[in-house]
């Protein structure tokens, strides 16, 4: 099969998968708001995934041992406890009894009067299986947002059970293919598709933690360009984990040696990120997603430095700033001599990322454009970054790329091992494909940006490689806006002055002729009146 044929088949299969899974989400939510209902669809999708994941884990081992007819789904819980639970949690991070598997629960779902409580107990048991093991923190609370007793599902137990049964049945009917044939990618793709769908329909409430895959792809390629390997990748505001996972998709596993690290403050998003890791077959011992306020309570101090940092932090949110006098002495913020303003935390995230970046690493951060020209403390921090040659590149992105905001964002690329005292400015504001709701970056757009990032060839109206002295000058005063250094193409109509003058002359002549005609008419009227 050719690559083109394979690609077409994948596109068709993916489109069909997306159609079916969104139909389920749309059909079953009923009176429940789509955004509020996402956790049930996503949570039960995850439940199916880990059920099939552990089933395949046991089945493969038994088939290799010679028992070709073995199926973990069909054995008793007692047998599973005796022969399969030992050492499983150490390997997989969790354990599920046969009776608790998605496939067995869905068989009786429509007639199970205790379905909502049974599911609640199963989810507790799965989380409880990791207690006391290394995976405990990675499994704990994964199903916290899948509240099967919530009145959101219905006012009565019967209503709750019906809706849960509809979800289970709908997700059971989706054909993800054979588990061993890249089914994991199908699950992961379905999961990310649902998140993006919910985000686009929920506006800011969804978009604030979801970075579109095409933007994630660009960030991952920026931090990895020219590198054969990195130690690990870090996202200090990881949301649903889409940026971290794009790193896995873009690069072979051996390139990222020590796994994926992220921190997220919101509990729902924290759970989504951990689920997303499992769904993309990142085992619990290859990721560390922690919950907390990155700026006030960073939780990966022991794991730094990182060779690759990717981030889309919340734009210009408030933070404690100098209301906490201890922060100015924090090793992350102290070097700049100023804290980010209390009203705009952008540079706090930037300084945090810089602190966690290795001497050979690269960070790519999505930023609000205003941070590159605002005065005060932000200018002081920009001066620190420029004078110490940490700013590698600033890319102006097109508007309307992100859910929940139409602004044209920028990407700040930082490095600690630059060889030139220059900063590359790229105006990629025209590099996009127009779609109904949001603009998107196509592969060709990403390639154009990456090629310029790599080659630094300077292209009129697109890019300039600027010496730091020009940025430090009195005229520019540490302004880092792309528009300051890359001239905008004048798209106004070019007017030929000679042609214009000729047209004016002809118009004036016509006016004179008209005026003469009017004068003659007036004279004739006056003559008639005087007779």
pLDDT band, residue 38 (cuts 50/70/90) = confident
Identical fold at 3-174 and 207-485? no
What kind of fold does domain 207-485 have according to CATH? Rossmann fold (3.40.50)
Burial 126-162 (b: 16+ CB within 10 A, else e): bbebbeebebbebbeebbebbbbeeebbbeeeeebbb
Q: For residue range 5-16, what is the model confidence (pLDDT) as tens digits?
A: 444 555 666 677
What architecture is domain 3-174? Answer: Up-down Bundle (1.20)
Are 403 and 438 a contacting pair, CB within 8 Å? yes
- Return the pLDDT at 201: 63
**Helix, strand, coil distribution of the chain in percent, nearest 5:** 55, 10, 35
pLDDT band, residue 91 (cuts 50/70/90) = very high
Which helix or strand (DSSP H or E) is residue 307 part of?
strand 306-311
Q: Which residues contact residue 192 at a Cβ distance below 8 angstroms, ignoring those fewer than 6 apart?
A: 213, 242, 245, 276
Give yes or no for residue 471 having a pLDDT over 60: yes
Parse the chain into domains and list their residue ranges: 3-174, 207-485
Which helix or strand (DSSP H or E) is residue 172 part of?
helix 157-172
Q: For residue range 306-325, what is the model confidence (pLDDT) as tens digits?
A: 999 999 998 889 999 999 99
Query: Does the CA dihedral 31-37-38-43 come out positive or negative?
Result: negative
pTM of the shown model = 0.85
Give yes or no for residue 281 having a pLDDT over 90: no
- Return the pLDDT at 184: 42
Q: What is the mean pLDDT of residues 387-409?
A: 89
């Amino acid at each position: 099969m050719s690559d083109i044929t394979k690609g077409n088949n994948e596109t068709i299969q993916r489109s069909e998968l997306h159609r079916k899974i969104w139909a389920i989400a749309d059909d079953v939510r009923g009176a429940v708001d789509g955004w509020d209902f996402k956790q049930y669809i996503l949570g039960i999708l995850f439940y199916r995934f880990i059920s099939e994941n552990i089933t395949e884990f046991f089945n493969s081992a038994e088939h290799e041992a010679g028992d070709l007819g073995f199926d973990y789904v069909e054995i008793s819980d007692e047998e599973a406890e005796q022969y399969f639970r030992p050492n499983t949690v150490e390997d997989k991070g969790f354990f599920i009894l046969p009776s608790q598997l998605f496939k067995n629960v869905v068989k009786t779902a429509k007639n199970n009067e205790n379905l909502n409580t049974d599911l609640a107990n199963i989810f507790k048991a799965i989380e409880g299986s990791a207690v006391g093991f290394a995976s405990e923190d990675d499994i704990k609370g994964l199903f916290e947002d899948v509240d099967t007793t919530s009145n959101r599902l219905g006012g009565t137990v019967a209503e709750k059970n019906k809706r849960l049964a509809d979800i289970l049945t709908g997700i059971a009917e989706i054909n993800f293919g054979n588990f061993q044939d890249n089914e994991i990618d199908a699950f992961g793709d379905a999961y990310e598709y649902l998140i993006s769908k919910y985000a686009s329909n929920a506006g800011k409430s969804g978009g604030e933690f979801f970075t579109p895959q095409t933007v994630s792809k660009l960030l991952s390629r920026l931090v990895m360009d020219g590198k054969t390997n990195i130690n690990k990748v870090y996202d200090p505001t990881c949301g649903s984990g889409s940026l971290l996972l794009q790193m896995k998709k873009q690069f072979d596993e051996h390139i990222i040696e020590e796994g994926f690290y992220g921190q997220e403050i919101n509990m729902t998003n924290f759970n989504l990120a951990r689920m997303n890791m499992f769904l993309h077959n990142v085992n619990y011992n290859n990721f560390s997603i922690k919950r907390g306020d990155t700026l006030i309570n960073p939780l990966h101090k022991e794991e730094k430095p990182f060779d690759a940092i990717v981030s889309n932090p919340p734009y210009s949110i408030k933070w404690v700033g100098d209301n906490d006098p201890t922060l100015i002495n924090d090793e992350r913020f102290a070097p700049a001599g100023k804290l980010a303003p209390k009203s705009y935390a952008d540079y706090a995230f930037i300084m945090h990322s810089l602190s966690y970046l290795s001497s050979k690493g690269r960070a790519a951060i999505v930023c609000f454009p205003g941070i590159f020209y605002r005065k005060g403390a932000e200018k002081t921090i920009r001066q620190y970054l420029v004078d110490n040659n940490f700013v590698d590149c600033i890319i102006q992105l097109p508007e309307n790329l992100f859910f929940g905001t139409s602004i044209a964002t920028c990407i700040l690329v930082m490095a600690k091992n630059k060889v030139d005292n220059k900063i590359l400015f790229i105006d990629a504001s025209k590099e996009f494909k127009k779609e109904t709701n949001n603009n998107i970056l196509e592969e060709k757009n990403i390639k154009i940006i990456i090629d310029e990032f790599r080659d630094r060839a300077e292209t009129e109206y697109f890019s300039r490689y600027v010496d730091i002295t020009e940025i430090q000058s009195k005229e520019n005063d540490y302004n880092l806006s792309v528009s300051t250094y890359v001239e905008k193409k004048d798209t106004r109509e070019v007017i030929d002055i000679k042609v214009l003058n000729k047209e004016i002359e002809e118009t004036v002549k016509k006016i004179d002729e008209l005026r003469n005609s009017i004068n003659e008419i007036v004279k004739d009227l006056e003559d008639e009146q005087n007779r």
